[in-house]
Amino acid sequence: MIDVSTLGKIEISGPEAIKFLHFLLPGKYAKFEVGRTRYSIMIGEDGILFEDGTISHIEQGVYYLTTTTGNQDAINSLFQWWLLVKILMCRSRISAWQMQL
């Protein structure tokens, strides 16, 4: 038995939750069944392992990720940053495409 109450906990949900998981974590999650949990790792831009935890498929479009206790704030910040970068990149591409018409 192990006390995991101190682990970081992040919920990832929404219509593009799987895209976000595929972007940040190795592995395929499209066929990951509801009620299942799997161990996963996160790799930094330098290709080095920097985090591990579990990913659980809670319900359709809702995933629950655990992180190590010491890295929970850093991982949450990283996820928020990637969300901002993806949104800005999409807007930039759309704007540039519209201007070319």
- Residue 88: per-residue pLDDT: 44
Half-sphere exposure of 54 (CA within 13 A, CB side): 10
Residue 2 lies in a domain: no
In a domain, 21, yes or no: yes
Closest to 57 measured CA to CA, from 25, 34, 41: 34
CATH of the domain at 35: 3.30.70.1400
Q: What is the number of structural domains in the chain?
A: 1
39 located within any domain: yes
Cα 98 to Cα 66: distance, rounded to the nearest angstrom: 40
Does any domain span residue 25? Answer: yes
| pLDDT at residue 7 in the model | 86
Report pLDDT for 101: 40
Range of the domain at 70: 8-100
In a domain, 1, yes or no: no
* Residue 94 within any structural domain of the chain: yes
- pLDDT given at position 86: 55
pLDDT tens track of the chain, all 101 residues? 778 788 888 888 888 888 888 888 888 888 899 999 999 998 877 778 888 999 999 999 899 988 888 888 888 888 887 776 654 444 444 444 444 44
List Cβ<8 Å contacts ≥24 apart for 10-15: 10/64, 10/65, 10/66, 10/67, 10/72, 10/75, 10/76, 10/79, 11/58, 11/62, 11/63, 11/64, 11/65, 12/62, 12/63, 12/64, 12/65, 12/79, 13/61, 13/62, 13/63, 14/61, 15/61
Instruction: Identify the pLDDT of residue 85.
Output: 61
